[in-house]
Structure 1
Amino acid sequence: MKTSIAIEQLSVSYHNEKALDMITLSLPKEKLVGIIGPNGAGKSTFIKALMGMIPKQSGSISILDESINKVRKKIAYVPQRNHIDMDFPVLVEDVVLMGRYPHISWWGRPKKKDRQLALHCLEKVGMIDFRKRQIGELSGGQQQRVFIARALAQEAQLFFLDEPFAGIDITSEQIIFQLLKELKNEGKTIFVVHHDLSKVTDYFDQLIMLNKTLIAYGKTEDVFLLENLERAYEGKAAFVSNGSFGSMVVSN
């Protein structure tokens, strides 16, 4: 199997408290991978550690057989929307153009081809008509589509998305999910922190299930099992009596 990320005994601590404990994984290329677990399980910490955004306490991480510093241009990141200042006065098209900055020298300026690509990415997410709007004027779903367009403009190989479907309308969710599938079919690798368990089996090829340590990893149908869910959510998983995981309610 082609490997996108190799992780050996990764641990991360905040204020002397373990956020992630001894995680070892070999993750594939060209897959759509969901990262699930209860609140406080370390899901966001996990992807930030992989990208080198926060220091690790111990362990090693190899991305595309290189260190993170050598492949940073090949990685696109879409953070949670509530971590972004939506009051900052910037136009939608300029937000997407930021995705081109890793390909522009520090003394250079965006070229015509960069602007054309940014507009093309806005078209792909159905937001071209909003290009002259301030980002803060958009709805939550529209904002998320703009940040997806920024990631597309980077032309990365690996994509990390932190709860991209949280608090958005169903139209935006469907557009974003379709784009993620297209990216996978183009040979990209996508990792998605996700909280809605009812969509897991529809959305992801593989799952990483965390609760500060690795609970399970593998094909979705092999991981999304009651025994794993009860371990991850510490027995707080309840099921509607139709027998479907899609009807799961989790109490955190």
Structure 2
Amino acid sequence: MADVLKVESLSVYYEKNEAVKDISFSAEQGKLIGIIGPNGAGKSTLIKAILGLEKALGKVTVLGKSVKDVREKISYVPQRNQIDWDFPVLVEDVVLMGRFTHIPWYKKAGKKDHLVVTESLEKVGMLDFRKRQIGELSGGQQQRVFIARALAQHADLFFLDEPFVGIDVTSEEIIIHLLRELRNEGKTVFVVHHDLSKVEQYFDELLLINKELVEFGQVKEVYQPDILSKTYKGSIQLFGANENIMVVSD
């Protein structure tokens, strides 16, 4: 399958500190990929650098082009704590923001755009909440609305930063089901994730980083104690034949 994303020697510096160091990899179309590593490993920084939201050294190509040339093909869902939930905006207006890359600046959203908003809200089970203020929703509902915004964009490449943090079980099940559907449609989805017990269940491939790239490949190949130990710089304890993993720092 064709590569949708190619990252070459990507590095990010904060003053003299290296947050992401010389990371290179390529990802194929139709994959659900987990990005895992310890706190401070540079997972969010890596995503932002790929998207051009962080100043970085290196080269990133999406569908063979620079990010700025295919911006409408890329959708990003940031961490919930980066969003101002008190801003007075309706649920349907948040999702409509996903259509802005498809609407010329001199035009208003049309019938097709509003239909896409309706379809996207229906997919995440939030259609009945379309007239609610975003701040009135629970954490899981808010996350589902932002997933709907990503769906409305009709992108080919998705980046989600910790989408399962602080949400209810129902919302998590809805979201992972949608991500699998996107994968099955040939989309490529990257998810920053922290719950090691679910990576085998959720992902096709894993990208393990700790500022540097530790390993990237199929889950069954890289989800191994020695690789996890190298990633988290600690010893690994397995419980229940890899179903549960505890990382113990040295």
**TM tier, shorter chain?**
over 0.9
**Given the alignment of the two structures, is residue 167 of structure 1 paired with residue 184 of structure 2, yes or no?**
no
Q: Identity of paired residues, percent?
A: 57
**Given the alignment of the two structures, is residue 101 of structure 1 paired with residue 82 of structure 2, yes or no?**
no
Alpha-carbon distance in structure 2 between the residues aligned to 1:215 and 1:135: 38
Give the AA of the match of 1:190. Answer: V
Q: Which residue of 2 aligns with 1:146?
A: 145
Superposition misfits of 4+ residues, deviation over 2 angstroms = 236-240, 249-252
Residue deviations 1:171-229 (CA, integer Å, cap 9, x gap): 00000000001111111110111011010000000000000001001001101000010
Alpha-carbon distance in structure 1 between the residues aligned to 2:248 and 2:133: 37
Any unmatched runs of 5+ in structure 2?
none
Normalization by structure 1: what TM-score? 0.96
> Between Structure 1 and Structure 2, how many residues are aligned?
249
Look up the SS of the partner of 2:38 in the other structure.
Answer: coil
Alpha-carbon distance in structure 1 between the residues aligned to 2:9 and 2:112: 43
RMSD of the TM alignment (CA)? 1.1
Matches within 5 A, 1:186-225: 186-225=185-224
Normalization by structure 2: what TM-score? 0.97
Q: Which residue of 2 aligns with 1:7?
A: 7
Give the AA of the match of 1:88. Answer: F
Deviation at 1:4, TM superposition (A): 1.1
**Given the alignment of the two structures, is residue 44 of structure 1 paired with residue 41 of structure 2, yes or no?**
no
CA contact (8 A) 2:206 2:222 kept: yes
Q: Which residue of 1 aligns with 2:155?
A: 156
Residue deviations 1:40-97 (CA, integer Å, cap 9, x gap): 00000111111111110x2211111000110101000000011000000000011001
Deviation at 1:8, TM superposition (A): 1.4
Q: Which residue of 1 aligns with 2:113?
A: 114
Alpha-carbon distance in structure 1 between the residues aligned to 2:148 and 2:69: 24
Deviation at 1:251, TM superposition (A): 5.3
Alpha-carbon distance in structure 1 between the residues aligned to 2:242 and 2:16: 36
CA contact (8 A) 2:90 2:133 kept: yes
Look up the SS of the partner of 2:65 in the other structure.
Answer: coil
Deviation at 1:7, TM superposition (A): 1.4
Any unmatched runs of 5+ in structure 1?
none
